[in-house]
Amino acid sequence: MGKLDGRVVLVTGAARGQGEQEARLFAAEGAKVVLADVLDEQGRAVAKELGADVARYVHLDVGEEADWPAAIAAAKEAFGSLDGLVNNAGILRARPLVDTPLQEFVEVCRVNQLGTFLGMRAAAPELIAAGGGTIVNTSSVAALSGFLLLSSYSASKAAVLAMTRVAALELASKGVRVNAMCPGAIDTPMTDPVASGSSTGPAAPAGPADPAERAGAAERAAAFYRKAVPMGRIGRPEEIARLALYLTAEDSSYATGQHFVADGGWIAGVPLGS
């Protein structure tokens, strides 16, 4: 018996990273999973590995309103219903406030904030029709504490928290629970210093091309997390997947409208003496 036996859950941003681990864990716990992403080749590969009886892939740009009905329809066509949504898809851009172009700010909010809104709005009627369900939104510790260079990201993730609370209030009487996760830095392509160019966590614009420089950037990032995070390391995507499982399963049956922090103690307080 799995914790999600009989459940049908759509996970956005599921082609890699945190979303991929959520999809894999949910499938292992008995769920039928719809993996949604814009990275079609990678997403299809993960779904194929999980098996057609367990998983389907659908192309979904979460910030495009017209993409959502097709994703919902794909879930229902494949597995008969939809009773869970994990709004995982997100992007991060790091830049000083005064240097942030308007279009970059808008694009971050389009994916992170608008994508979450559109997902909840599209999924809620299906969850209600299924007799109840769960929505798990991915916010961030950047919504709870200030982080240098993350104006657009922080704004979008704070909005996710606000929308989570409103949705929880509106949907509780209809059997739908809505909660948010607030991860710290997690070891995914979004926070990879080689991919993002950041040498000290979520920070810089363009990654080094030289292998030695790439290795150096990775080590500087690791050193940063050893110092900044009380637990001494960056988080792992499977750790956030387990939190998403908790909020989707009956283990959290009396929790709604809340945010759950998983950051290794990063925003717990000032580590005096460090």
Q: Which residues are catalytic?
A: 153
Q: What share of the chain is helix, strand, coil (3-state, %, to 5)?
A: 50, 15, 35
Please state at what angle helix 237-248 crosses helix 17-28, rounded to 10 degrees: 50
Token pair, residue 253, equals 């049956």
Q: How far is CA 260 from the centre of its chain?
A: 13
DSSP 3-state of 71? helix
Region of residue 7 (left: phi > 0; alpha: psi -120 to 50; beta: else): beta
* H or E segment to which residue 135 belongs: strand 133-138
Cβ-proximal residues to 84 (8 Å cutoff; 6+ apart), any chain: 4, 7, 8, 9, 10, 31, 127, 133, 134, 135, 136, 248
